[in-house]
Amino acid sequence: MIENSSETIKEISDDKEIENSTVKENTSETPKIEDLSFESKDIPSADSSSSRRNSDLDSAGFTQEDFASLLGKYDYNFKPGDLVNGTVFALEPKGAMIDIGAKTAAFMPMQEVSINRVEGLSDVLQPSESREFFIMSEENEDGQLALSIRRIEYQRAWERVRQLQKEDATIYSEVFATNRGGALVRVEGLRGFIPGSHISARKIKEDLEGEYLPLKFLEVDEERNRLVLSHRRALVEKKMNRLEVGEVVVGSVKGIKPYGAFIDIGGVSGLLHISEISHEHIETPHNVLNVTDQMKVMIIDLDSERGRISLSTKALEPEPGDMLTDPQKVFDKAEEMAAKYKQMLLEQTDENDEQTADIPESE
């Protein structure tokens, strides 16, 4: 069989008149068939180390460990709640497509673009803009993540509001709606509520919409999503900064309760307790006062932390019981009696200081 093969090859060589002696020599020495045979088990797999020379990676300049480490840098592990940097590459009617380096572009729904109301995505985002995003959920079946800007703004808004409350700051905010219970405002993008009892007596609740009001914080509770504010307290604090204990002010009775009367003194309310109306015993304030009565009262205490002003007419009585028998006399001599009251307080303070100085220091 080998001889026939040799003759056949020789005939083909003669026919083609191959003159190159080297070619004739090669064709006359046909390799044996058994030399070309192989076993499939002897073929190395493509990722087998035996399929390459040991020097392949050495000449490449890095090791297998280096290569694995490099791949690890691009093995992103995105989790809900993480903040990631991303680049906007498409604005669509229902949201924005964001490149965050994942296998599939992430998507941010329209309602997650801002904590504030916006007309469209372009009010907040621009193509090719890079910024931080919040991961809302795990990948869906298409390998896509859902993102949010609103969640970031929401968290930072609560942080800012807590700081403002800690500083006992007075803020200004526009009333955007009113309801039966009070008024609604926005603070750092969060919805806040002003109870009706904390709106200035000089303001008609229904007419507040569109007005900017000074406000103080009453309650800041992120877990319960409660942000409660006070217009009255802000006004009281502002007013209190210009008031002092012992000062006489003109006020109007705006409400009477069994325990006393609330007096409007320039837009803020002070309490004239029943025990501070007169030196004489009074069964009920209704026996002495009427709503809308104009009167002079003296400030006897200012509690700025609680936003309370305590008032007295008893201290202005020339004679005990004048508020019951001759309230006009109390009105006319109010400043004179207030001066005497201040002098009395000053003398009491001096006596207390002297008594303190006489106490020997313990050895």
Question: Are 327 and 280 in contact, with CB atoms under 8 Å apart?
Answer: no
Residues ≥6 apart with Cβ < 8 Å to 131? 85, 86, 88, 149
Q: In this predicted model, what pLDDT tens digit does every residue of 320-349 receive, in sequence order? A: 999 999 999 999 999 999 998 888 878 777
Q: Closest Cα partner for 146 from 154, 155, 156, 134?
A: 134
Give yes or no for residue 69 having a pLDDT over 60: no
Domain assignment present for 331: yes
Which token pair is 53?
Answer: 């020379």
- Please, which contacts does 166-173 make with residues 24 or more away whose CB atoms are closer than 8 Å? 168/216, 168/217, 169/217, 170/214, 170/215, 170/216, 170/234, 170/237, 170/238, 171/214, 171/215, 172/212, 172/213, 172/214, 172/215, 173/212, 173/213, 173/215, 173/229
Identify the domain boundary among 219, 236, 253.
236
Percent with pLDDT over 90 in the chain: 38
Which one-letter amino acid corresponds to residue 232? Answer: R
Domain CATH number, residue 277: 2.40.50.140
176, 149: one domain:
no
Region 345-356 average pLDDT? 70
Whole-number pLDDT of residue 118: 81
Give the tokens for residue 96. Answer: 């924005």
* Segment holding 229, helix H or strand E: strand 226-230
Both 293 and 257 in one domain: the answer is yes
**12 vs 298, which has greater pLDDT?**
298
Q: Say what the pTM is.
A: 0.56
Q: Which tops the pLDDT comparison, 87 or 360?
A: 87
Contacts of residue 183, defined as CB under 8 A and 6 or more positions apart, other chains included, come to 175, 177, 193, 194, 196, 199, 205, 208, 209, 213, 231
Asked if pLDDT for residue 190 goes beyond 50, the answer is: yes
Task: Tell whether 282 is covered by a domain.
Answer: yes
Look at residue 173 and tell me if it is in a domain.
yes
Which of 103, 124, 153 is the endpoint of a domain? 153
Query: What value does the mean pLDDT of the chain take?
Result: 78
Instruction: Report pLDDT for 34.
Output: 41
Residues 249 and 344 in one domain: yes
Per the structure, the count of domains in the chain is 3
Share of the chain residues as helix, strand and coil, in percent rounded to the nearest 5: 35, 25, 35
Q: Are residues 259 and 317 in the same domain?
A: yes
Q: Is residue 58 part of a domain?
A: no
The candidate with the shortest Cα–Cα distance to 313, out of 349, 260, 256, 240, is 260
The pair of three-digit structure tokens given for residue 187, joined into one six-digit string: 């603070």
Same domain? For 208 and 223 the reply is yes
Q: What is the residue range of 103's domain?
A: 82-153
Residue 9 located in a structural domain: no
pLDDT band at 65 (very low <50, low <70, confident <90, very high): low
